[in-house]
Structure 1
Amino acid sequence: MSSLDKTMRFNFPEEPFEHDVDEVLFQVHEALQEKGYNPINQIVGYLLSGDPAYIPRHRDARNIIRKLERDEIIEVLVKFYLKQKRGG
């Protein structure tokens, strides 16, 4: 069996970065709203593409969001979504 046929594991170190992600997303969301952008669309665009141009420099939002890895942000979002959908 080829190594391409095997499922790879993706593991994060167990670090408490959820609080950082929360704070970053709230700050970036607020900056996007102040500039008149749709915050959800802009954040999703950034997370999918990695292009920081989706996030304005207003209130240093672009630098703030780039302090975190996109995969860390996505991990926290997925965990939160699943936790909410499971009801606990």
Structure 2
Amino acid sequence: MANDRTIHWGSRHEENEASRALRLAADAMRQKGYNPISQLSGYLMTGDPAYITNHNSARNVLKSLEREELLQELVRFYLRDQP
């Protein structure tokens, strides 16, 4: 009987620039006592960088990317294991 399974080689999720930026910002916000979900949501909804801490250059890293790129990465991450 033939095996019809496809073997996936390598990482299931290669970290890209948007993913790295989101992780860095979330870590910086946690370190400063902020809720990263609330803060990132505020930033993505309004575009106001004041929602993001300057700690570890998180604000500058996020501002270097388009908000659309960040949203796409969040959706990609959320849906990556969906059938």
TM over 0.5: yes
SS in 2 for 1:56: coil
Distance 1:76 1:35 in 2: 24
The partner residue of 1:32 within 12, 15, 29 is: 29
Distance 2:42 2:51 in 1: 6
Matches within 5 A, 1:49-88: 49-86=46-83
Deviation (angstroms), 1:76: 1.6
Question: Higher relative contact order by CA 8 Å / sep ≥ 6: 1 or 2?
Answer: 2
Kindly tell me the number of residue pairs found equivalent between the two proteins.
69
Higher helix share: 1
Deviation (angstroms), 1:81: 1.6
User: Amino acid of the residue matched to residue 81 of structure 1?
Assistant: Y
Deviation (angstroms), 1:58: 1.1
User: Amino acid of the residue matched to residue 35 of structure 2?
Assistant: N
User: Amino acid of the residue matched to residue 62 of structure 1?
Assistant: R
Q: 5+ residue gaps in structure 1?
A: 1-17
Q: 5+ residue gaps in structure 2?
A: 1-14
User: What's the % identity of the aligned pairs?
Assistant: 46
Distance 1:75 1:33 in 2: 22
The runs of at least 4 consecutive aligned structure 1 residues that moved more than 3 Å come to: none
Equivalent position of 1:42 in the other structure: 39
